[in-house]
Chains A and B, each alone.
Chain A
Amino acid sequence: MSRKAERLRVLDELAPPELWPDIRLREPRVLPDEPMQGHRVLAAALAFVVAIAGLGVVVFAFRGEPAPPALGPATVPSQLTFIRNGELWAIEENGTERRISLEPEGSVNGVSWSPDGDRMAVSIEVNSGTEGGQFHLYVANADGDQARRLTDGISDRLPAWSPDGSTIAFTRDLSDGEQEIFAVHAEGGEVAQLTDTDGSNLEPTWSPDGSRLAFTSTRDGNGNSEIYVMDADGSDPIRLTDDPGWDAGPAWSSDDRIAYTSDGPEPGIFLIDPTAIEPTLLLADPDPFDAFVAWSPDARSLAVTSRRDGTPRLFRFDFETRSLVHLASGDLLWGPAWRPFAQDAADGPAPLTQANPMISASIPVGPQGNTNAILYAEGSVWVAAAFVEGGGGVDRSMLFRVDASTNEIVAEIPLEGGPTFVSGGGGLAYGFGSVWVAGYAQVDGAQQAVVQRVDTASNRVVATIPVGGTYGADVALDQRGVWVAYFGEQHASVGLIDPGTDSAIADVPLPSDYVRRITVGSGGVVATELEWNGVESPCFVLTAIDPASATIGARERLGPGCAGAQLFEWNGEMWASAGGDLLRVDPVTAQLVGEPISFEPEHFPRSFVFGTGREVWFGAYPGGDGNRPDRLARLDAVSGQIEYYLQVGGIDAVFAPETRTIWILEFDGSLTRVDLYDR
Chain B
Amino acid sequence: MANPPYLRVGRDTPCGVETSPDREQEVERLYRTEGARLWRAVMAYSGDREIANDAVAEAFAQVLARGEAVRELLPWLWRSAYRIAAGELKARSRSAAALAEVPYEMPEPVADLVAALARLTQKQRAAVVLHDYADLTTAEVARIMGIASATVRVHVSQARRRLRRQLEVRDV
Contact = CB atoms under 8 A, between A and B. Distances in A.
Contacts, number: 246
A192 B102 CA distance: 89
Interface in B77-101: 80, 83-84, 86-87, 90-91, 95-96
Interface stretch (A32-40, A242-250, A292-300, A332-340): A32-40
B9 A28 contact: no
Contacts of B154: 420-424
A82 to B, nearest CB: 37
Contacts of A635: 7
A4 B147 contact: no
Report the interface size class on chain A.
35 or more
B58 A26 contact: yes
For the residues of B in contact with A, the DSSP-based class is: helix
Given A14-B110, A35-B13, A625-B139, A26 B61 contact: yes
Interface stretch (A107-115, A214-222, A402-410, A595-603): A595-603
B7 A10 contact: no
B150 to A, nearest CB: 3
B132 A39 contact: no
A556 to B, nearest CB: 14
A532 interface: yes
B109 to A, nearest CB: 4
B143 interface: yes
A24 to B, nearest CB: 7
Interface in A11-53: 11-14, 16-17, 19-20, 22-24, 26-29, 31, 33-46
A424 B139 contact: no
For the residues of A in contact with B, the DSSP-based class is: loop
Interface in A172-186: none
Interface stretch (A70-78, A116-124, A534-542): A534-542
Given A530-B146, A535-B87, A538-B145, A62 B5 contact: yes
A643 B150 contact: no
A679 interface: no
A5 interface: yes
Interface in B1-56: 1, 4-15, 24, 28, 31, 35-36, 39-41, 43-44, 52-53, 56
A627 B137 contact: yes
Given A26-B58, A28-B62, A421-B151, A17 B53 contact: yes
Contact of B40 (A12, A535, A565): A12
Interface string A601-639: 001001100000000000000000111000000010001
A499 interface: no
B137 to A, nearest CB: 6
B9 A563 contact: no
B70 interface: yes
A4 B132 contact: yes
Contact of A564 (B43, B106, B113, B147): B147
A606 B149 contact: yes
A23 B139 contact: no
A534 B157 CA distance: 26
B13 A41 contact: yes
B132 to A, nearest CB: 4
A563 B146 contact: yes
B71 A39 contact: yes
Contacts of B11: 35, 40-41, 43, 559
A641 B5 CA distance: 5
15 contacts: A4-B164, A7-B164, A11-B129, A16-B39, A17-B39, A19-B57, A23-B57, A23-B64, A28-B61, A36-B15, A38-B71, A43-B10, A534-B90, A564-B150, A607-B150
Interface of B: 1, 4-15, 24, 28, 31, 35-36, 39-41, 43-44, 52-53, 56-58, 60-62, 64-65, 69-72, 75-76, 80, 83-84, 86-87, 90-91, 95-96, 106-107, 109-110, 113, 121, 123, 128-129, 131-133, 135, 137-139, 142-143, 145-151, 153-154, 157-158, 160-161, 163-164, 167
Given A20-B31, A23-B31, A534-B90, 4 more contacts: A19-B53, A424-B148, A489-B121, A563-B149
